[in-house]
Amino acid sequence: MIDAFVYDAVRTPFGRFGGSLAATRPDDLAALVVRAVVDRSPGLRTDPGALDEVVFGNANGAGEENRNVARMATLLAGLPTSVPGTTVNRLCGSSLDAAIIASRQVETGDADVVLVGGVESMTRAPWVMPKTEKPYPAGNLELSSTTLGWRLVNPRMPSEWTVSLGEATELLREKHGVTRDRQDGFAARSHRLADAAWSEGFYDDLVVPVPGVDLRRDESIRPDTTVERLAGLKTSFRKEGGTVTAGNASPLNDGASAVLVGSAAACERLGLDPVARIAGRGASALDPQYFGFAPVEAADRALARAGITWADVSAVELNEAFAAQSLACIDAWGVDPEIVNRHGGAIAIGHPLGASGGRILGTLARSLQRSGERWGLACICIGVGQGLAVVLENVTT
């Protein structure tokens, strides 16, 4: 079996809902990171047609990115029309799924170089309505937002499965005993570490600016966030007995990410050295209302397939959909919380659904490269009860 490696990773700054990236189309965001990865590779810059495939993740797909955004991104980025593209949808895990798909293509010899990533504009996600069974209905019709969560729900779906993501997190934190204090502390840490990482220059090589937009850092980071301030926020999903707030959950965001995946032999075509080997993959699923806990089994499976244990892992990038679900996963793994999201997480950085998997994978690869540590894990929870995980092995030391 041929090994698959991460060679490079970039992303845009993540913008707030209705913020600095609100005027930028998602297909343009995707094209930007595709072009950036190509331009950062001496080989691809000379011959972008050397790309075997572009695989992009996108969760909503109901707006301007609807016509296979991977293919749209290659065309808008000026790549040759001979480069094929496909879009995958595993909701929040879409771009991590894209990387998994690419790694399998490389390992089986079906491809040598694959550019993967993901994009989401939650700001520009449209409202939709179903077509009526008969034309010209006399009554009112209801619009559904495609920004986040369930819409146009099949009535045959059990109601306990279709609760909001926030209510599902309340159910999960009740089941696993995660307190409000811990959630707020975790959220404050996310902002503190993200701000420090930007200030120290960690993200300088990972993030490319969006032309014409005055945004150089992730827009949702609040450096002045404290546990005390978070404790004063009202709960968002339960008026009584709730713990989940706007402060200890990830915000709505816009952004794109890209990761360059290839074989060992691809280094000559790319003019780059590999950063990390994709050593293990895992997917899992459980009851939809407990979606936030799905990374637990996905990670355990990925580690087993990599032939290592939690004792070998030095760095974890866990997408912070909610503080409560992140803490539930960390508790279940029994790992040192200090190795998780050392450069901030989605609560601070943001969570533009389809782009987040690429963000955590790229961050993990660079983190291992800079620290010299050998093993790391990227994992993400997914609405409707799924989880994905990827193990990376640092090959730069």
Residues with catalytic annotation?
92, 351, 381
330-333 contacts at long range (C-beta below 8 A, 24 or more positions apart)? 331/176, 331/178, 332/176, 332/293, 332/296, 333/296, 333/299, 333/300
CB of 355 closer than 8 Å to CB of 120:
yes
List, in order, residues 6 or more apart from 208 with CB less than 8 Å away: 10, 11, 12, 32, 33, 36
CB of 146 closer than 8 Å to CB of 353:
no
Q: How far apart are CA 87 and CA 66, in angstroms?
A: 10
CA atoms within 13 A on the CB side of 313: 33
For 116-125, b where at least 16 C-beta lie within 10 A, e where not — what string?
bbbbbbbbbb
Backbone φ and ψ for 11, nearest 5 degrees, come out as: -155, 165
Q: How far apart are CA 22 and CA 15, in angstroms?
A: 8
CB of 193 closer than 8 Å to CB of 343:
yes
Q: Which residue in the block uniquely carries the two structure tokens 């959950």?
A: 249
CB of 292 closer than 8 Å to CB of 169:
yes
